[in-house]
Structure 1
Amino acid sequence: MIYNRTPLILIVDDSALNRQVLTLLLKKAGYLTVEAGSGEECRKLAREHKPDLVLLDIMMPKEDGFTTCIKLKSDPQTREIPIIFISALDDTENIVKGLEVGGVDYIVKPFSQPEVLARVKVHLSLKFAQEKLIESQAQKLADIKQVQKSFLVLPEELPEAKFYYLYKPVLELGGDFLDVIPVGENSFAYIVADISGHDLGTAYLISALKALFNQNINAFTPMEDSLRMINAVLRRIFKEGQYLTANVALIERNKLKLSIFNTGHLPAILSKKNGEILEINGEGDILGGFEHFQVQEEVIVVEKGDRVFLFTDGLIEKFRGPGRQRKEGLNLLKRNIAKFNKFDLDEVVRRVVNSLCSGQNKSEDDVILLATEV
């Protein structure tokens, strides 16, 4: 197996003899190692050295291996490090628990040296393959040399997604982005995003963003993991100070379930069939801004006939003339949604945009309003 660098493995066991045996075995196989005699020391070294893999004993004083694993997985700096448990506990209950708390594998003591090496090789291969995938996607997107027109998804192409939008870019190709992606039977992800800064340079990224979101958002990958992958790629292609805010609404119509994943973007607006207007805020880091990306899922039970609205700040903010601040614009948007919600979805979108953008000969910022009905 060929790596771009020599893998570093953190060995964690309260027995110095066990650590020595594993260290000699792994060094002979060509790996670098670092040792920890406790869970607390393991977590400290993991943050300092960022190992490629952790071999973790379970039965240790003060803090057992299960607890250590849970703490590693809850720390943004160490959550992505794969963990293999090595323990004398060979019952099914402990093996299952090890996998449930975040371990990728479980080796029972006394172990055979070929087995340890084989499993280490497998999980290092998976880790490096993931890193290679990120590098590959980043390189493909970074190689885009010409502005390409973003192929906006059309409502008639996905009639079962029940959506309509208006997109008014300041430039021929704007810095705002939208898409609708099928993610399962009668389930769709609706995306509205805004790249920091609005000049022709940001327009170069729009078609690339469409490819990136479509490559990573699917029916089989949890949305949090998809957004983490997108964040990792964007960190490699964005220039310093550039980032992306986004609001992703995942609607599973068969379950009447709405999930909102907000990465530093404006809230979503939920217009209930009974006339109630709800503002759905979510917590999440901007995309492309931080190495250790986090986002929180907001889950709402919906009914048939409920409508969800996603938008960018160009719709609600005005800086010329009398101006309009974000809070005022947000309240105005909600009042207009309530006022026009008796109309069909396409007509609601048109009337709301016309109302909020009236009196503007030219948009000050890109404007997107996307609406969908459950």
Structure 2
Amino acid sequence: MCDDCGMSPMYDKEPSPLVVVVDDEPSVIRSLTGFLERAGLRTATAGSCSTALQLIRSKRPDLILMDVGLPDGSGLDLCRLLQTEGTTSRTPILFISAHDDPSIKVRGFEAGGLDFITKPIVGVEVIARVRTHLRLRQAYDRLSELHAERLHNLASAQQTLMPALKDDHPTRFFASIRQALTAGGDFYDVIPTGPEVVDYLVADASGHDLAASLWTASLKALTAEFATPLNTPGDIVHALNSSLHHFMPSGAFFTLTYARLNHRTRRLSLVSAGQPPAIVIHATEEKPLILRVEGDVLGAFPDAVFGNIETTLQPSDRLWLYTDGLIENGCTHDLGLSRLISACISRKDMPLAMAVPSVVDDLIGDRSANDDLLLLGVDV
């Protein structure tokens, strides 16, 4: 006991690694568990494939020592099965075999095993191999944690670049974004450029790796410089293209929709750089307005040409801007666009903050996105 505080100096420690030993020979089980426990490791044992599978699923060990031949099946087959399960796919498996046959070793490595221990068992060798693979597993886990932390920090920084809905904002918009990775290349911005005049930008960097996410900061900075009432949307997109072309690497580019909406006159000017068509859902008409505008991608060509369209919208219309990942996730472009239009129409009376995520859920559901995707809705 501690004389000053009256409390025990003991503290909680992480439990020692758990090793599951799978073998049908009691003498081998006794030898292995003895070696492991004297080395400070915890053990659990099984004598068959079926028992081992239940034990491994419930205990989630840090490492598995597995005999190749078991009474009710092959350790190789059990290893293959464990490789397919999320909770065990990364658990190191070391095979135990009475045969030093190279073909068995090759099959073991092909099944997902990381090492082989040949009988008769030598305690020093077993402990050395087990410790090596436990250290490798711990190092891998730590790297994964650091990678996840960096991704989280990058995603947080990227989110600060994109605006949030504010009560005093002159417009009403709502966006939903999903990344194939934690951070990605899809991006939107909302920029007031005059009394009741707002510019809406939706962009998609080529690729959906971490490099793509870094380009969005450059696009954000450039747009803030060029988006002024003195520049038309066409001027802004051409200026963005000229700047991006000078420093983006070969093969990298953005697709982009840039829309300026005067919420008082409801006049819309829209420029496209390789993006799918914007959609306008009318409050009083069943047929939607599909704004198909052709244009080159942004940043790839010094002399790129961008399509432009101008139109006047109606009171209570709703404008939808999005990236292609939303409509090309598991289906063709045309089918995805048709599904998106139907989803937007069916939610035209729904508040925007509810409609946007509902449309995304309708199209994507619980499926993992294989590309970044973004949907931005704007109430006229």
Q: TM-score range by the shorter chain?
A: 0.5 to 0.7
305, 318, 342: which is aligned to 1:307? 318
* Contact 2:181–2:209 (Cα < 8 Å) also in 1: yes
* Contact 1:250–1:260 (Cα < 8 Å) also in 2: yes
Letter in 2 for 1:309: W
Deviation at 1:182, TM superposition (A): 0.8
Unaligned runs of 5+ in 2: 1-152
Corresponding residue for 2:335?
328
Deviation at 1:172, TM superposition (A): 2.3
Corresponding residue for 2:301?
290
Corresponding residue for 1:364?
370
160, 175, 179: which is aligned to 2:185? 175
CA distance in 2, matches of 1:298, 1:154: 27
* Contact 2:205–2:216 (Cα < 8 Å) also in 1: no
Letter in 1 for 2:378: T
340, 353, 374: which is aligned to 1:346? 353
Corresponding residue for 1:11?
none
Deviation at 1:283, TM superposition (A): 2.4
CA distance in 2, matches of 1:305, 1:191: 21
CA distance in 1, matches of 2:272, 2:263: 20
Corresponding residue for 1:278?
289
Aligned CA RMSD, in angstroms, stands at: 1.6
Q: Does 1:373 align with 2:379?
A: yes
CA distance in 2, matches of 1:191, 1:157: 20
Deviation at 1:313, TM superposition (A): 1.3
Letter in 2 for 1:229: A
Corresponding residue for 1:149?
158
Corresponding residue for 1:21?
none
Q: Does 1:207 align with 2:237?
A: no
CA distance in 2, matches of 1:363, 1:283: 26
Deviation at 1:156, TM superposition (A): 1.5
Deviation at 1:157, TM superposition (A): 6.3
Q: Which has the larger radius of gyration?
A: 2
Letter in 2 for 1:193: A
CA distance in 2, matches of 1:158, 1:314: 31
* Contact 2:237–2:258 (Cα < 8 Å) also in 1: no
Corresponding residue for 1:115?
none
For these two proteins, the number of residue pairs brought into alignment is 224
Superposed counterparts of 1:1-374, under 5 Å: 148-151=157-160, 152-156=162-166, 159-274=169-284, 275-318=286-329, 323-360=330-367, 362-374=368-380
Deviation at 1:149, TM superposition (A): 2.8
CA distance in 2, matches of 1:371, 1:267: 14
Letter in 1 for 2:249: K
Letter in 1 for 2:353: D
Query: What is the TM-score when the length of structure 2 is the normalising length?
Result: 0.57
CA distance in 1, matches of 2:365, 2:170: 32
* Contact 1:349–1:369 (Cα < 8 Å) also in 2: yes
Letter in 2 for 1:342: D
Identity among equivalent positions (%) equals: 29
Unaligned runs of 5+ in 1: 1-145
CA distance in 2, matches of 1:222, 1:302: 18
Deviation at 1:158, TM superposition (A): 5.6
Deviation at 1:218, TM superposition (A): 1.2
Deviation at 1:317, TM superposition (A): 1.3
Deviation at 1:371, TM superposition (A): 0.4
* Contact 2:175–2:377 (Cα < 8 Å) also in 1: yes
